[in-house]
Amino acid sequence: MREFAKQWNKNKYPYLFIAPAVLLLVVFSIVPIIIALVISFTNMDLIGLADYSNIRGVGFDNYINIFKDPVFLKALFNTLIYVVVGVPLVVICAMAVALLLNYGTSWLFKTFRVIYYMPSITNIVAVAVVWGYLYNGSYGLFNYILSWFGLPAQQWLQDPALAKYSLILLALWKAIGLNMIIFLAALQGIPRSYYEAAEIDGATGWKKLRYITIPLLSFATFFVTITTLIGWIQFFEEPFVMTKGGPLNATMSLALFIYNNGFKLSNFGYAASGSFVLFVIIILATIVQFAVRRKEVEY
Amino acid sequence: MAVKKIEKGVMVTLLILGGILMMVPFIWMLGSSFKPENEFTVIPPTIIPHHPTWNNYSRLFTEMDFFVYLKNTLIIVICSFVGLFLNALAGYAFAKFHFPGKNGFFYLILATMMIPGQVTMIPTYLIINKMGLVNTMAGIVLPGLVGAFGIFLFRQFMATIPTDLIEAARLDGSGEFRIFFTLILPVVKPVFAVQAILTFIGAWNSFLWPLIIANDEKLYTLSVGLSLLKGQYGTEFGLQMAGAAFMVVPIIIIFTFFQKHIIEGYTISGMK
């Protein structure tokens, strides 16, 4: 006992300092993941929430049923499209913008750095309100611009074939800023002497880009790809505020499916099993990314 | 040399064109927020209103409860700053103290970064419900109060503070809390400032969790209020645009003011 008191007196300050943070993270991050795992094997719903004695274990039923659920399968397919189209778009556009911004150092480049960054700090509901109006079928700006070129008006968010891509465009606009900053930081770390040496050897602008810049950006590209990939697998806010997953579940994503089952339909157990499927997909995607990276040549 | 000039011209043109495309939604939002209702059906649409009016903005406060939403949002902002202090405090302990279980606790905190929000969302709601905190400000604020990333960043920076400095303050008889507030915080001011701005932006924009926890309109934040407006006044674009501008413009002003620090902060945290 005395030993304990001595230990406590010696270390009481660091424990006091970390206590609030550790306590909050345990209660709202560590405990929840355990609860999620447990309830994913139960039929937890509103009745179960009212009285815990009504909760029944259902084994792997939730996990089996979810792969028979047409809405879930649709959400899985949509999320695949979001990833396949969205990830390369974001990585390429962010890199292109960073290259443009890195070209000069005058006030013009500094101003545009702020402009390209602005969408990423803009509130998602405000974005939904403004883009909803831009996409409006009758009074929206986008259809008006199409009419300049004699193109027919589009139902951007109501057409099941188009709605997914309308959301991708919006998410791209929002995602460029942060990723471009990461590329910009990496670009500024490339020594000028590399380019000077290449110029002496007679390398042109394109050759310098292809054989110096892009290879030296490989770590930044890897980082941006992996964070963007995880972000698109969890794609949620844009469909949630713009389309609610409609029309006909055409924009439904996995994360939105989980939200709807949890908070709209109160099928907490079923939603929890969906969230673990999502978690496993994220882990697998990350492992694949690291495996691909290891095969690449190091510079 | 001529080739270089053409190249620069092309680059600058591309940069400006892209920038204008990025700006379109902002310009459209600001222009439309000053339009009277009858100007919205005009074809071709006007970018700058012919008869500008403040009417849409004043309706936010007369027809909607934007004062209440603003007050709630500011409460969340203040609470999130308390969370920032807790992050800094924990980061300090991990950087400058040796105690049993230090690494274990640190890895536990880092592990929470990998858990996707979708997994914890439902159980966290169940916990808040069990604590009886649904529909309270505490229920909105507590789950996001501290963050692993913030703790990690503070730890990285505080590790560079010389231990001799802290030992000297201890010999002078300063208490541990006093050392933290008067010695450590001033030294990490640059990181603290960046974190403070990012925390402000995050709290100001907080949407999903307040939406889940707040049933009562008295607890709505600006974002939740704006989504309510979007649902109730779906065809009144002027009011919607004014609401959006009311949320976006303060953030843009703050960001433009501090952007140099924020962007450099990212660069620094990326290198470490």
Give me the residue spans of the domains in chain A: 4-54, 64-295
The answer on pLDDT for B91 being more than 90 is yes
d(CA B75, nearest CA chain A) in Å: 18
Q: Do B223 and A125 touch (CB under 8 A)?
A: yes
Rounded CA-CA distance B76/B66 in Å is 15
Query: B113 CB near a chain A CB, below 8 Å?
Result: no
Domain A64-295, second-level architecture: Orthogonal Bundle (1.10)
Rounded CA-CA distance A261/B255 in Å is 37
Residues in chain B: 272
d(CA A233, nearest CA chain B) in Å: 10
Q: CA nearest B8 in A: which residue?
A: A103
Percent over 90 (pLDDT), chain B: 34
Residue A185 has its nearest CB partner, among B145, B243, B266, at B266
Return the structure tokens found at A109. Answer: 């480049």
Q: What is the pLDDT of residues B3-52, one digit of tens each?
A: 778 888 888 899 999 999 999 999 989 988 898 887 777 777 777 888 88
Query: B22 CB near a chain A CB, below 8 Å?
Result: yes
Residue A113 has its nearest CB partner, among B108, B204, B263, at B263
Suggest the residue from A107, A130, A268 to mutate for an interface test with chain B (most B CBs closer than 10 A). A130
Residue B45 has its nearest CB partner, among A49, A139, A262, at A139
For B215-227, b where at least 16 C-beta lie within 10 A, e where not — what string? eeeebbbbbbbbb
The answer on pLDDT for B213 being more than 60 is yes
Q: Which of residues 134-163 of B touch A (CB under 8 A)?
A: 142-146, 148, 151
Question: Nearest CA to A55 among A274, A218, A268, A285?
Answer: A268
Q: CA nearest A49 in B: which residue?
A: B126
Q: What is the arithmetic mean of pLDDT over B249-264?
A: 81
Q: Which residues contact A49 (CB under 8 A, 6 or more apart)?
A: A266, A268, B126, B129
ipTM of the complex: 0.86
pLDDT for position A277: 94
The answer on pLDDT for B271 being more than 50 is no
Q: Which of residues 83-102 of B touch A (CB under 8 A)?
A: 86-87, 89-90, 92-94, 97, 99-100, 102
Residue A42: strand pairing partners: A57
Side-chain-side CA neighbours of A102 within 13 Å: the count stands at 20
Instruction: List chain A pLDDT tens, one digit each, 299 residues.
Output: 677 777 777 788 889 999 999 999 999 999 999 999 999 999 888 888 877 888 888 888 899 999 999 999 999 999 999 999 999 999 999 999 999 998 887 888 888 988 999 999 899 999 988 998 889 888 888 888 888 888 888 888 888 889 999 999 999 999 998 899 889 888 888 888 888 888 888 877 788 888 888 888 888 899 899 999 999 999 998 999 888 887 889 999 999 999 999 998 989 999 999 999 999 999 999 898 888 877 665 54
Rounded CA-CA distance A92/A106 in Å is 24
Query: B257 CB near a chain A CB, below 8 Å?
Result: no
Q: Do A262 and B122 touch (CB under 8 A)?
A: yes
Rounded CA-CA distance A271/A36 in Å is 9
Rounded CA-CA distance A43/A45 in Å is 6
d(CA A177, nearest CA chain B) in Å: 10
pLDDT for position A298: 52
Question: Nearest CA to B193 among B154, B251, B242?
Answer: B154
pLDDT bin (cut points 50, 70, 90) of residue B224 is: very high
pLDDT bin (cut points 50, 70, 90) of residue B272 is: very low
Q: CA nearest A126 in B: which residue?
A: B244
Rounded CA-CA distance A132/B224 in Å is 16
Q: Do B116 and A275 touch (CB under 8 A)?
A: yes
Task: Tell me the whole-structure pTM to 2 decimals.
Answer: 0.88
d(CA B11, nearest CA chain A) in Å: 6
Rounded CA-CA distance A134/A131 in Å is 5
The owner of tokens 């002497």 is A193
Domains of chain B listed by start with CATH number: 65-232 (1.10.3720.10)
Rounded CA-CA distance B160/B168 in Å is 16
Q: Which of residues 216-255 of B touch A (CB under 8 A)?
A: 222-224, 226-227, 229-230, 237, 240-241, 243-245, 247-248, 251-252, 255
The answer on pLDDT for B89 being more than 50 is yes
Q: Residue B243: its chain A contacts at CB < 8 A? A: 126, 129
Q: Residue B22: its chain A contacts at CB < 8 A? A: 115-116, 118-119, 173, 176
d(CA A140, nearest CA chain B) in Å: 8
Residues in chain A: 299
Q: Do A18 and B270 touch (CB under 8 A)?
A: no
